[in-house]
Every structure is written in structure tokens, then in C-alpha cells.
Amino acid sequence: MTLISLLTSARSQGLQSPNGQTNFSVILIEANPHQAIESGLVVDTDCFTPYELDAIVRRFARTLKPTFDFGSATARVLVPRTTNHMAALWYSPAKGKPALLCKLDFNARVIAARVAQAIREGDALPPLILGVDEPTPELGVPDSVESLVTADRVDSLVKAFVADKKIDFDFSGIRFSSMRVARTRIYVGDIFYRHVFGKPALSCKLGWDGRILESHVGNARPD
């Protein structure tokens, strides 16, 4: 099966993370250029959503012997600060049960898969964590997540920056928001919020140290 056909159902079901728990309308992880299907059309793109990566890993897992039982586990997407791989997806149905960790390269190919007895269940971690260079199948994240970057923290950092700098942007009534994780990993990514078209939109570039590197307010417009 081609990558295009594999991503068809994933894109058609939306761009949120597998369990829908995210502060952003869309989370995108930049990757190598490839083709995908959106609204029935083949499009060129350079990113994947957590939902798409989840679909790829679940298909790959069918080839494992013995097969892995996902149960009710949802993906925890662990994005490294380095460019050794694009992301790792971790599944842990319950503490003491088998957990699966898969690393994907920037073409969304599974390059490593490990199964081990889980020390924590997947729900103990946020759906998306950035800055995890060495994930483990037992814990997902070997260290405390407090020092790492989550979608909640990204959202909070941007809002704190806007308040501190007294930027004229109102977060109430936001119609769309996105986080695009940078391919280079030189910085975390680009964050975007907008109201209806023609109303204010905010774009920011976030560094790994939590500082806003760039910010811009303009009027939202269709692409």
C-alpha cells in the first residue's frame, strides 16, 4: 500500500491528535516532502499530523510477531529536539502490560520498534511532548515531563508573552489555531491563532528555551 492510500482515511478524519486532546485545532510535524489526500485530492505536503502517524504505526504493528494488543491505548507522540528521527509513538494500555515504542524517520517510515513491560500507562503522559530525545518503551519519557514542552505549555507561553508585551490580540473567540513543529529542530515551531477572516491573527516562533523569537499580528485571510 502506498503512503497516499494509507493517509487517506487519516486525513479525512481530521488533523487532531488521536484522542482529540489538544489546545490547537491542528498540530503538524514537519517532514520530508510527500503526497497525501485532502478532500479527495492528491496534494503535495511536507508535514504529518499525529493522527496520520498513529495510522502508520498501527498498520506497521500488524506485521509484528507476536502481534501487539493496543487495547484502549492511544498514541503518545514524542518529538525529539534532535533530527535523528522525526517522532516516536508510544502505546501503553496499562501498567505491567506490554508497551510499544516506534520511531519514525522524516519519511514517516518506522525505523525502530520495541516492546517492553510498561512501568506507567499511556494516559499518565500528555498526548504530545516535544524535546524527548531518548524515549523508552517502559516509560515513554524516562525523565519528568515538567521540563519538556507540551501543547499546553506552548499555548501558555504564547499567551503569557502576549500579556507581558501588551500585544493587542484577544484570544477569546479564536476560530482556528495551529502548531507546526520545525523540521530543522533549531526552534520548537510556528504557532498561529486567528479569528474569522478579516479579523486579527497572531503568528509566533517559539524557541526551545521558552522564549518567543518572533511575533506578528495581522488580519487573517484565506490562503
26-62, pLDDT tens digit by residue?
999 999 998 877 777 788 899 999 999 999 999 999 9
Considering only CA atoms, which of 116, 75, 73 is closest in space to residue 94?
73
Residue 104 is assigned to a structural domain of this protein: no
Residue 68 is assigned to a structural domain of this protein: no
Residue 94 is assigned to a structural domain of this protein: no
The number of beta carbons lying within 10 Å of the beta carbon of residue 42 is 10
**Interval 64-121: pLDDT, tens:** 999 999 999 999 999 999 999 999 999 999 999 999 999 999 999 999 999 999 999 9
Question: What pLDDT was estimated at residue 39?
Answer: 72
Indicate the pairing of strand 212-219 with strand 200-206: antiparallel
pTM for the model: 0.86
pLDDT of residue 128 exceeding 50: yes
Residue 27 is assigned to a structural domain of this protein: no
- Based on C-alpha coordinates, what's the Rg of the chain? 18
Cβ-contact 148, 129 below 8 angstroms: yes
Considering only CA atoms, which of 151, 134, 145 is closest in space to residue 49?
151
Q: How confident is the model at residue 10 (pLDDT cuts 50, 70, 90)?
A: very low
Structural domain range at position 187: 150-219
Residue 116 is assigned to a structural domain of this protein: no
Collect all residues with Cβ–Cβ distance below 8 Å to 133 and sequence separation of at least 6: 80, 81, 82, 84
Question: What pLDDT was estimated at residue 135?
Answer: 96
Residue 185 is assigned to a structural domain of this protein: yes
pLDDT of residue 148 exceeding 90: no
Residue 112 is assigned to a structural domain of this protein: no
Residue 199 is assigned to a structural domain of this protein: yes
Sheet containing strand 26-38, strands side by side: 41-48, 26-38, 176-181, 189-194, 200-206, 212-219
The lowest-confidence range among 81-95, 157-171, 208-222 is 208-222
Our count of domains for the chain comes to 1
CATH code for the domain of 209: 3.10.450
Average pLDDT value for the chain:
88
Q: Output 79 or 18, whichever has higher pLDDT.
A: 79
Considering only CA atoms, which of 104, 103, 101, 105 is closest in space to residue 90?
101
Question: What pLDDT was estimated at residue 22?
Answer: 56
Mean pLDDT, rounded, for 175-183 = 95
Crossing angle of helices 3-12/50-61, nearest 10°? 130
